[in-house]
Each structure stands twice: as structure tokens, then as C-alpha cells.
Structure 1
Amino acid sequence: MSGASRCLLACSNFLTFLVSLPLMASVMITHFSSHTSCSHYLLHPLFVIGIVLFVVSILGMIGSCYRITFMLWFYQWLMFLLIFVLLCFTVLSVVEVHSGMRKGVSGESPRLQQFSDWLQMNVVDRQNWLGIKACLSETKICSSPEISPPARGLYRPIKNGCCKPPAHCGYKLKNGTVWTVPSSGLASRDHDCIMWSSEPNTLCYDCESCKAGVLSRIQEDWWRLSIIACCLIAFLVINFMVGCCAFRSSRAFDKYQRCGYKS
């Protein structure tokens, strides 16, 4: 039983090791080949996840193959911490997504007020928004030819909120992203209507509708990530249980050796 648990733990961590390598490699390649700050801003969390999986898998393989009890103990604690963090992220994702869906109105463009205060304060606050706005500008998301047709549906909330003035403002479309004020004046003088500019690097990037579009896109990503996180948690829980068996067998083996030496 002890040999089977150690072999199973080594194999499962080898799979985790294989997953972490291309993840870290893709992040590093994108980091050095990209000339925009947007990719760096988005890829840092992925790199951290890749490093954690790499370290955990190495500890699990070495500890199981060489019966190193302390390393297996450390592996178990790291695994427990990783499962706990993923659980917190999954619960937060589900709560935030559910909150936005509950407060949103079907058929309308998303509004900033429909999202939770936590998302507004921690995702699109003044400091973080500078980086997000730079990403939107550098990737030219408002230029339709720059985005492939399959991806346009994914970015529709952002394009609707950031690339054109809100419909209630009363702007008239001249061409492309150029909107003009009608002779009768704007229909509304709210914050978003005043902030709009036809300048390609400005557009409506400082509008609340743009922030709402970004948060709507983030919620969709969080929903997908929460599903992936649930699958990963199930895999890690199995690893954790197998690791417990391997840890107990390694500790029993150490105790047996000590007793043998005394005799």
C-alpha cells in the first residue's frame, strides 16, 4: 500500500510538473516578445501560479521517491494552502458573478453600479485603472481589424462601453470612431457624455461605461476560471489524500528504521 501511494503521488506530481513548464514558458516568451504593458499586467498571476505548481510538484516527486518525511510534510502544508486559496478564489468568483447577474438588467448594457463595491474598489479603482486603460489603448481594442471575428463576441462589452459614447448622450456618428455633437447639443451632460473624445487614445476610456464593460468581461472570465479551479481543486484534493498516505507510510518507515537500529 505504501509503495502504491508513493508511486501514485510521484506520477500525479509529474503531470503537475509537465503542466507548469509550458505555463511558465509561455508567460516568459510573451513577456520578452511583447512591447506593450498590457500583456505584462495580465500575465503576472499566471506566472505565479506556474511557479507554485512547479515547486509543489518538485517537492512531491522528491519526497515520494526518496521517502523524505520532512519534504512530504512541507508538501502537504503547501498543498493545503494552495487548495485553501483556490477555494477562496472560487467562492469569491461565484459570489461576485452572481451579484453582477442579480443586479444587472437583461438586454441593457452593463452599468458600473450593478457590480459589487469590492470589484469597483479593487479592480477599477484609480490606481489599477491606469494600467487597464493603457492595455486598452496599446492593444487597439477599438480598431475592429485588429481583433479576429471569433474574439469580437468576447470583447463586445468592452467595445460597447469604451469605444463609443453612450447612446443616451445623443452623439452623431460621422465615420469610424469619430462622433460629433449635433447642432441641437447633447441630450445629456452626465460624466460619460462629457468624458467622450474622438481621439483614438482617449475615446471613452475614462467613462464609467468603459469600467462596467471591463468588469463584465472580468466576470465572464472569473466564471470560466471558477469552473477550471473546481476541477483543479478536485485534482489537488486527491493529491493531498494520496500525499497523506505517503507521509504516514514514510513516517512509519522512519520509526521502523529507528527501532531496528536500537535493536
Structure 2
Amino acid sequence: MGVSNNITAFLNMIALLCSIPIIAAGLWLASKPGNECIRYFRWPILILGSLILLVSLAGFVGAYWNKQGLLAIYLFCMALLICLLLVVLVFAFVVTRPDGSYSVPGRAYKEYRLADFSSWLRNHITDSGHWIKIRTCLADSDVCTKLNQEYTAADQFFASLISPLQSGCCKPPTACGYSYVNPTLWTNPANPNADTDCYLWSNDQTQLCYKCNSCKAGLLGNIRNEWRKVNVILIVAVVVLIFVYIIACSAFRNAQTEDLFRRYKRDWVR
């Protein structure tokens, strides 16, 4: 194995290591409560990370055993995967840029407005066709039941940093004026706010605020926070992969030059 192939094999090990945090980020995203109910939104990162792992292994095999054809395929596939990863990264950054959160006096947690999130997220995740399945999935999860196990007193609950999903789906909006009994049980005010969500709230533990716009906004708030964290990992991974790819291309050209030189030298000796 030539020097250039040694370098390429080493670089593929780095690319392989880069795929591990991408796969881990994909698994983390897929395991989050909100994403468990949005099947098509769970898998892109996990799939890309797995493909990068497989392509890196192919590149290592091609470099170690000097399979120039396999190395050429590796370079093409890796370029394609890096481009796809960049597209996903930019797209995720754009659609999660608007922040629908707002602070509530006397509350540590924030509440969320649906209209303040990106139109793409609203149209593709919280439209009527998708939301019926999503809210059923959320109602079957333990997102809200956990709150009753963790908080008892009102002061303790109001000082907590609950997730956007819990803030939007498990309690009525603060502006409605409901009185706290426990995190998922609230008494009706005499004159509720005119907001539609105030009338949609139900103390039925299978209903709560799953039909509310605040619940849709809370889900988008969760997605935004989670993807913003994953974007940091993706940025670092993309930078490393691009750096590795540029050096691998140079090493591939050098390996071809070395092969041509060896053939010329062998033919000259004959």
C-alpha cells in the first residue's frame, strides 16, 4: 500500500468517526417525545449518518487494498452525502429560525404562539391531516403524566423549566386565567379569555390541551430546540468531512500518479 493510500485509509477512519456523532444525534432526535409522533421527521439524520459510515468503510477498504475503482466510487458518494448533509443543515436552520416563544410574568417556563413559527413547519406538521394522528400519539405518551410525578405545589411548578411540548399541551395558556390544582388539572375561571384555546382545554386527562393551537406551537418549539442542538453537531461534522474529503481527493490523485510511475518504471526496466 502506497503512502497516498495510507493517507486515504487514515482519512476514512476520521470520516467513519465523524459518522458516529451524526448517528447518535439522529438516534437522540428519534427518541424525543415530539419526534416519536412525527415519523417522517425522525430519520433523515440517522439515515445520512449511517450512509456516511458505510461509504467511509468502503473508502477504507479501497485504500487499504488499493482498489482505485472503489476509491473513485467512494469519492463520488461522499461528495453527494456531504452535499445532502449541507442541504439538511441549511434547511433545518432556515425552518427553525423563527422562535415562537414568549415569556410569561411569574413563570419560569415560556409559552408559544403558533403564528410565530415558520410557515413550512406549520403547514407540514400541524395541519389538520397530520395533527389528528399526532395529538392521538401525544395523548398516549407520558409527556404530561410525568409532570404530576415531578411537581406538586403551584410555586414549584411555576418555577420549573418544563419543555415547550409540556407547556403547550399539558396545561391551559396562562392568559386564560385558570387556577392551578396540579400540573394537568385546572379550575375554570369565571370569565375565560376569548382565546379559542381557553375553551378547548379539558381536565379529561386524555384531552387536556391536545386540540389547542398552543399544543401545536409547543410541539414546534420542541422541534426547534432539538434541531438547533443537532445543528451544532452537524456543523462540526460537515467542516471535518469537507476537510477530509479535500485531502482524500488530493491523495487519490497522488495514488494514481504513483501507480503510473510504477508502471512506467516497470516497463522501462523491461
Length-normalised TM-score, structure 2: 0.74
Q: Residues of 1 paired with 2:224 and 2:191: CA distance?
A: 36
- Whether 2:43 is the aligned partner of 1:38: answer no
Please tell me whether the aligned partners of residues 162 and 205 of structure 1 are also in contact (alpha carbons under 8 angstroms): yes
Q: Residues of 2 paired with 1:216 and 1:3: CA distance?
A: 52
Q: For residue 93 of structure 1, what is the aligned residue in structure 2?
A: 92
Partner of 1:199, secondary structure, is coil
Please tell me whether the aligned partners of residues 38 and 138 of structure 1 are also in contact (alpha carbons under 8 angstroms): no
222 and 63 in structure 1: CA distance in 2 versus 1, 3 angstrom threshold: same
> CA offsets per residue over residues 174-220 of structure 1, 9 Å max, x none?
445223334x35332x3312322222222111211111112112212
Higher helix share: 1
The structural deviation recorded for 1:127 is 4.1
Q: Return 5+ residue gaps in structure 2 as ranges.
A: 105-109
Partner of 2:208, secondary structure, is coil
130 and 86 in structure 1: CA distance in 2 versus 1, 3 angstrom threshold: farther
202 and 106 in structure 1: CA distance in 2 versus 1, 3 angstrom threshold: closer
Please tell me whether the aligned partners of residues 63 and 71 of structure 1 are also in contact (alpha carbons under 8 angstroms): yes
Please tell me whether the aligned partners of residues 192 and 204 of structure 1 are also in contact (alpha carbons under 8 angstroms): yes
- Whether 2:173 is the aligned partner of 1:173: answer no
The structural deviation recorded for 1:18 is 5.6
Q: Percent identity?
A: 31
The structural deviation recorded for 1:75 is 1.3
Cα RMSD after superposing both structures:
3.6
Q: Residues of 2 paired with 1:120 and 1:76: CA distance?
A: 38
Q: How does 1:236-255 map to 2 (within 5 A)?
A: 236-255=241-260
- Whether 2:211 is the aligned partner of 1:212: answer no
The structural deviation recorded for 1:226 is 1.5
Please tell me whether the aligned partners of residues 38 and 134 of structure 1 are also in contact (alpha carbons under 8 angstroms): no
Q: Residues of 2 paired with 1:146 and 1:131: CA distance?
A: 26
Q: For residue 164 of structure 1, what is the aligned residue in structure 2?
A: 171
- Amino acid in the other structure paired with 1:126: S
Q: Residues of 1 paired with 2:127 and 2:262: CA distance?
A: 59
- Tell me the number of residue pairs that the alignment of Structure 1 and Structure 2 aligns: 247
> CA offsets per residue over residues 3-36 of structure 1, 9 Å max, x none?
4442233234235446657958x96xx99xxxxx
- Whether 2:75 is the aligned partner of 1:76: answer yes
Q: How does 1:127-206 map to 2 (within 5 A)?
A: 127-143=129-145, 144=147, 153=161, 155-182=162-189, 184-188=190-194, 190-206=195-211
Q: For residue 107 of structure 2, what is the aligned residue in structure 1?
A: none
Length-normalised TM-score, structure 1: 0.76
Please tell me whether the aligned partners of residues 68 and 250 of structure 1 are also in contact (alpha carbons under 8 angstroms): no
